[in-house]
Every structure is written in C-alpha cells, then in structure tokens.
Amino acid sequence: MPRRRLAGAVTAVVAVTATGLAAPSASAAPNPSPASTMVSAEQGTEQQDVLTMPVGTVAHSSGPTGFLASHGSGSAISYTWTRHKDGVRTQLPGQLYGGIAGTDIVVRSSGTVRTHVDMSTGTELMTYDVSTLDGTYAPKLYLGTGFVASTSAEEQPEPYVFGQDAQGRLVSRKLTGLPTGATNLRFTSGTPGTFLISYLTRANGVDRYRLAVADTASASVVETYETLKTTNNPSVPAVSPTHVAWIEQTDPTQVTLAVVRRGATEVERTPLGAVYYRTTVRLMGDWVVAGVTHGGIATSDTPDYTLTARPLKGGTAEGGGVVDLLDHVTYTTQSPDGSLIATGGTLEHGEGLYRIALDPATGKPAASLLASTGVPTAFLLTKETAPSGVVDLDRNGGSLKASWTFSRHNALVGLVLTHTASGLQWTSYRAWQSSTVPYTFDWNGLFDRDDLPAYNGAYTWTMTASPANGIGDDIVRTGGFTLTRTPERHDVNDNGSPDLLVRSQTGKLTAFDGGHVLNTADTSAADEYQPRDLGTGWNTYALITATGDIGGTKAGDLVGLDKTGALWLHQGNGRGLAPRTRVGGGWQIYNKLAGGSDLTGDGRPDLLATDTAGVLWLYKATGSATAPFAKRVKVGGGWGAYSELTATGDIGGAATGDLVARDRDGGLWLYLGKGDGTFAPRTKVGNGWNAYTKLIGIGDTDGDGRNDLVAYDEKNAPDTLLHVYKGSGNWKAPFATGQALRNHGMYYWGEDGRGLATSGHHIY
C-alpha cells in the first residue's frame, strides 16, 4: 500500500566544483555520476550537478563560509570542511572534531589537548589542555573562544565559563543566575553569544523543570522559562533572536513541542505523538522546524519521522500550514543566516545533506539537496532468489529456500505459499536485520494447519515487504512453482508423507497423515488435527491393503477384497481416492494380503497373498491401472504359520522391498527381498509382537530415509494406541526401540470422536 511521501518537491542545489584551496590537503568534490544527479522536473529547473559525499556523511556545524561533516565511525572516522561557495572539501588531520554552531570555528581534539581553529582563515584561535582542570571541571559545551564546564559535584554542580587571557592561560567565571539546588544540568548551543541550560530543582518533593538562556559575555542567566518534564528526553532545545523552543515528555512515548516568545510567559504547545528517538528542534524566522531523528534506520513507524516546519503563533507566517521538508532526518545544524543543513533523505532524491531555507517566493521553508551520498531513501528490492519451476523436496534436503535483499535492513518481510488445489498455506515473516543481508526463508514442506506435510502440485507465492519505519512503498512480488517428491507407497494424498488408514465399525475410512500424527511432540496439536475423509461403505471388504502407487498417479493406492472374491483398486489422486475399479475375481481363496514392497526390482510395488492352504503367491505390478498385476507366481508354502504378513519396503539396506511376518507365538521374522520375487532365509528379529492387534508397514514417517513400522495396540486403548518402531537400516536389528504414543490424538478418531476407544476398528 502507499506509504508516506512528501507533499512538496525538493529541489537540487547548484554546486560549482573547483580546484584549489587556501588551506593544505584540499580536494575538489568529484563530479557525481548520472545516478546521483537530482533534478526537480516539476519546477522546470535546468539539470545541475550536486555534491557527492561518502555514505553515512553527517553535517555537524555550519558557519558563514562552510560546514563541518564526518563519515565513518570509531578509529575510521574522517572529518571534512566544505566551502559553501564552491563545494571544495578539505580533509581535516586528526580523528576527532567538534563544531561551534553558526560559526566557522571547529574544535580539534588530540588526547587531552583542544585547539579551536577558524576554518575561514586556517587560524588557530586557542589551544589548551583539559588535563590542567585536574578533574575539578568537566567540559560540557565548546564556545567560539572558550568552553562551558561544570564542577563534578553530582548533587550541586556549578557551571563556569572558561576563556584564555593574553598569556594563553585558562581563566574561568562562575555562571550566575541559576537557583540554588539546580541539578541535571544540560548545555546547548544558542545564538551567537548565548547558550541554553536545562535543569531541575526539587523542593518539598516536587520536581520543577526549567530552561535558561545564558549570556556568554557576562557569564549570567538572562532568561528563564518554566517547562514540563524534559530531562528524560535527549532532545535539545533551540533559541533564536525572537523565540525559545524545546521538547517536553511527560509520557514515556509521547512528546510535545513547546515554543515561547522570548521574554513572554505564554507557551504554545503542539503534540507530536509517539517518539522513539531524539527529536530535533530548530527555529527559523517565524517557523519552528521539528522531527523525530534516526527515522531512516528505525524499526517502528511514526509520521513524526517527517521533518516539518510549523508557523509560529503571532508571527508573519501564522496560518501558513505545516510544511513537510524531509522524509526523515538524522541531524540538523543551523547556519548564521538562519538556514539549516539537515542530514536525512527524501524518497525523490535519496540520502544526503539538504539545505533548508525560506523560499523568497512563498515565504515558507523549503529543502534543496546540497550533497548526495548516492544511497536511496526509497525502499527498493535489489536481489531476488524466488521459487520457480519444479521444486523437488527430496533433492533439496527436504526444504525450499528463497531470499530477497532490499536497499535497507529495516524491513518487515512476509512470504505466503499457497497450494492451488486445496488453498492450504504456509506463511512466514522476517523482521528487521542488522545489515542489508538477504531476508531468507526456509520452508520445511509443512502447511501452517496442523503442521500437515504439504501436497505436491502447483503453488503460488506472494512476498510482501514493508519498510518498518513506514518510509516508502510496500514491495509485492508474486510467482509460482510446482512441488514434487518421490512417491511414498503409503501416501494417498500426495504430500510425501505416509498415511494411516482407519476403518470404523460402520465402514467409514479416514486417512491420518502419519508424518503429522506420529511425530507431533505436542499432543494438543495432534488432538486438533483434522484427518481426511475417504468415504463410507468400506466394511464391504474382507481385506484391505495399501499397495503404494500401482496405477501411475504418483499417489498411493489401495486394493480391497470383497466378500464375493472380487478385487477392487482405489487409486490415489492427490486429494484422496478415486472411485474404485474392479481388477480381478476369485480372490476369496486368500486370507491375507500384503502390498507395498517392490520385490522384483522394477521400481513398482508388488502384492503378496496367502491362500487358506498357507501358500504365498506373488502378484507382480504391471504399472497399468486397468490390469495392475501380472499372473501370480508361487513363492512357497508353510506361510499359514503366520498370523500376519506386513510388506515394509526396504528395511534391510538393499534396494528391494522386504517382508515381516508374525507367528502365532508373537515371534517376528524378517524376510529380506532378493529382487527376483523371492526371499532370503528368514531371520528372527523379535518376540512378544502378539501384544499388538495390527502391524502396519507405514513407510518413512520422519524423513530419515528409512522405512518404519507402526503397531496398533487396541487392547490398551485409550491409554496407549500406537507404537512407532523407527527403521534402523540394519537388517540384523531392523527396528529401534518402539515409541509409545499415549493418546496423542489417536483416541479421538472415528465418527463419534472416540472411535479407537472401542473394538472393531481396523488400521491399514
């Protein structure tokens, strides 16, 4: 959606570049690239060059002939002096400088030595060593040819104005006019010859906040104003020849702009709303300029990041309305002519230094770009790695990765993946970061709802990025991709996760996603899981087995043997099961079916059946939905000794499928498939398995690449219904210790909400 934009245009300042400078180490500002040349087409101005400055440049002070700026931080900080008339920059020696507001004087710091330099002439005005103060005084504010310092007494600090005598010695005068007990002293530059002091007094448990104007020449307070609470807000007050302005903060998150005519008592207060950083305040003729600073890097949204000018009550501009100047501001400094140099940015012209002055044509403040850093203020997409084409989660380590990089780090980014057929979604959000690195999303293949494994098929995606500070427009990108995985033999809904199939006493068949139900640590989440209804009438079958994909749909299929001996195929279609197809007759001779293992090495799951005489028969899969099985082949006799056969797929580490058989004494035997439709000699792999009602060769429930086994314990319902035996990959001990799932959502299966609490239900 549209975000905040300045109502008025910002013009570009004409900057004439030149070579040469009266002081050493000078360099002319280089010509900007076309990308950094800003033009105000609305005003029809001729294209002009704009000064270019390094990223992160901040203007600290501005005098009659130039301004002090810096870029970098710590030991890498660099200071420059730039002349107003031609844009020539001087690289200043040393590492630390401070500016004197409204003057060409800068203060160079070298250890404990301070040197005041007039940059218009290069003259060193005074040099002194603050270590000579012996810790008695702490410098608080530098003046043109002196400084203000305060005694270190915390409860009763005393300010002094320092200068130098003819011999270069520091001399001090105690500031007069502050009330006894004044504390929490804060000093701010004022108009030439003045400075401001914010302070607090306390009497009878009542705090009173005041702002004083001090005269440097007499070292005395000449004006005092009552204020509301200001000391907890780092914003600095401002003074002009006619007005004083300050920020009041009586609420932790709300600030008020206060302005008073000098010498008067009536204070004009304007609520500014929420504040998260310092608020800059400057007076410009009959206007007050204010805005919450550092909005460019902010991670919260407030309209007060906009630097605005408001007409002063009773002034010539009263009724002129609020004027928006910059989309955000970091710092402002005032020139002696009353204009400002502001470090900030606009969506139109980007980041840099802006000159703010009264427009002779309108009488209102207007901003013009003075120097560009080449960094956009607008919120832009710079790089995209988006999902597209076919995404195979099996080849991608089970996840989908996507990323977007933007022009700044303070963004709120959301990604929504939507399965086209079902409408199910995965949503994820990323908040602001420490730098402009990619916002990366890593989808694990689960939907938001119940952590259900996502279906294969077509997807759309929508990425929405919003500037966290509200400066700029949202970015919306869309696209699509197709999700695929290797088909799971026990997966009827084509989501890469095997399903448990439950038939109720009344013949209703329900599919429960095994990847969700069998691996949910939070039982309450499992309880809320909504299974897939596969229809009614399933009690017409005497035997049912999940075969895997034998019809070519890539989803798992089922075969059911009815009581007349007819065999029916139910193909998976990615949404459940298609209507049944009759694929054989005369199957009433069989009392056990086991499907899902590829026993012949052709990549298709085959079907095993034992007849009433105990003979095991192999039905090789053909890949045809109309005739899914070839003519039966006898495997061997004696299989009547087993009460249950379960096709497990590969659990022994070979490429072909295997089989486990439970004898009537509870012994579990492993038959390793040889790949030719026969088995290696059986190996006993456990005892006591007659405790379970049913064994299900579920497939890989946890994505570790090994097939697992699920055991249904009807006798202990509803306390413990299912046990999961994870595949080990070792044929000598193919299963890890069983994990009992206590209730875990299974107790709530069935039409009445308590299906498995009673007997007569079947799991496949």
Decide if 87 is inside a domain.
Answer: no
CB atoms within 10 A of CB 574: 18
Q: How confident is residue 47, by pLDDT bands cut at 50, 70 and 90?
A: very low
Separation CA 18–CA 559 (nearest Å): 88
Q: Is the pLDDT of residue 677 over 60?
A: yes
Last residue of a domain, one of 458, 484, 510: 484
- Indicate whether 609 and 725 sit together in one domain: yes
Position 432 scores a pLDDT of 83
* Residue 494 · residue 512 · CB < 8 Å: no
Q: Which pTM was predicted?
A: 0.80
- The string of pLDDT tens digits covering residues 276-297 is 668 899 999 999 999 989 999 8
pLDDT tens-digit series, residues 112-150: 999 999 999 999 999 999 999 888 888 999 999 999 999
Q: Is the pLDDT of residue 720 over 90?
A: no
- Residue 68 falls within a domain, yes or no? no
Residues 510 and 612 in one domain: yes
| Secondary structure percentages of the chain, helix, strand, coil, to 5 | 5, 45, 45
Q: Which of 484, 512, 545 is the last residue of a domain?
A: 484
Greater model confidence, 476 or 393: 476
Please tell me the predicted confidence (pLDDT) of residue 522: 47
**Token pair belonging to 424:** 């199910």
Percentage, residues of the chain above pLDDT 90? 58
**Best CA proximity match to 292, nearest among 255, 317, 264, 261:** 255
In a domain, 521, yes or no: yes
pLDDT at 655 > cutoff 90:
no
Confidence of residue 11 (pLDDT cuts 50, 70, 90): low
β pairing state of 475-484 and 390-392: parallel
Res. 252: pLDDT tops 60 = yes
The answer on 683 and 544 residing in a single domain is yes
pLDDT digits (tens, 9 = 90+) for 729-759: 888 899 998 887 754 444 444 444 434 434 5
425: burial class by Cβ within 10 Å (0-12, 13-18, 19+)?
middle
Is pLDDT above 90 for 164? Answer: yes
Q: Which two three-digit tokens encode residue 757?
A: 């609490």
CA pair distance 73, 70, nearest whole angstrom = 9
- Amino acid identity of 721? L
Q: Give how many domains the chain has, as a whole number.
A: 2
Q: Report how far apart, in Å, the C-alpha atoms of 521 and of each of 465, 670, 718 are.
A: 33, 30, 18
Q: Is the pLDDT of residue 594 over 70?
A: yes
How confident is the model over 412-424, as a mean pLDDT? 95
Same structural domain for residues 512 and 477?
A: no
Residue 630: which CATH number? 2.120.10
Least confident of 178-187, 606-615, 698-707: 698-707
Residue 336's SS3 state is coil
Question: What is the CATH classification number for the domain harbouring 463?
Answer: 2.60.40.10
Residue 436 has pLDDT above 60, yes or no: yes
- The more confidently predicted of residues 673 and 753 is 673
How high is the pLDDT of residue 742?
Answer: 57
| Residues 198, 237 contacting (CB under 8 angstroms) | yes
Q: State whether 588 and 702 are in the same domain.
A: yes
Token pair in block for residue 320: 């002129």
Q: Which residues share a beta bridge with 137?
A: 151
How confident is the model at residue 13, as a pLDDT?
47
Among the three residues 422, 453, 484, which one is the final residue of a domain in this structure? 484
Same domain, 519 and 446: no
Does residue 34 lie within any of the structural domains?
no
Please name the residue that has the structure tokens 């002129």.
320
Q: How large is the average pLDDT for residues 619-624?
A: 94
> Tokens at residue 22, please?
């009266």
Mean pLDDT (whole number) for 560-564: 95
Domain annotation covers residue 19: no
State the residue range of the domain holding 522. Answer: 499-763
Q: Is the residue at 705 inside a domain? A: yes
Tokens encoding 367: 């901003």
Task: For residues 439 and 530, state if they share a domain.
Answer: no
Per-residue pLDDT at 615: 97
Is residue 585 located within the same domain as residue 647? yes
* Confidence category of residue 16, pLDDT binned at 50, 70, 90: very low
- Quick one: 545 and 614 in the same domain? yes
pLDDT at 528 over 90: no
Q: Are residues 426 and 510 in the same domain?
A: no
**Same domain as 537, residue 408:** no
Residue 17: its pLDDT value, please? 29
Question: Edge-to-edge, what's the strand order for the sheet holding 123-129?
Answer: 96-99, 105-110, 113-118, 123-129
480 and 503 in a common domain: no
Q: For the chain, how far is it from start to end, CA to CA, in angstroms?
A: 51
What's the whole-number mean pLDDT along residues 49-76?
90
Of 722, 638, 713, 725, the closest CA to residue 686 belongs to 725
In a domain, 80, yes or no: no
- Residue among 88, 86, 87, 92 at smallest CA distance from 72: 92
The strand pair at 365-372 and 11-12 is best described as: parallel
Tell me if 3 is assigned to some domain.
no
Give the mean pLDDT of the chain: 85
Asked if 695 and 709 count as a contact pair (C-beta separation under 8 A), the reply is yes
Q: Which one has a higher pLDDT value, 155 or 474?
A: 474
Q: Can you tell me the distance from the alpha carbon of 2 to that of 410, in angstroms, rounded to the nearest whole number? A: 17
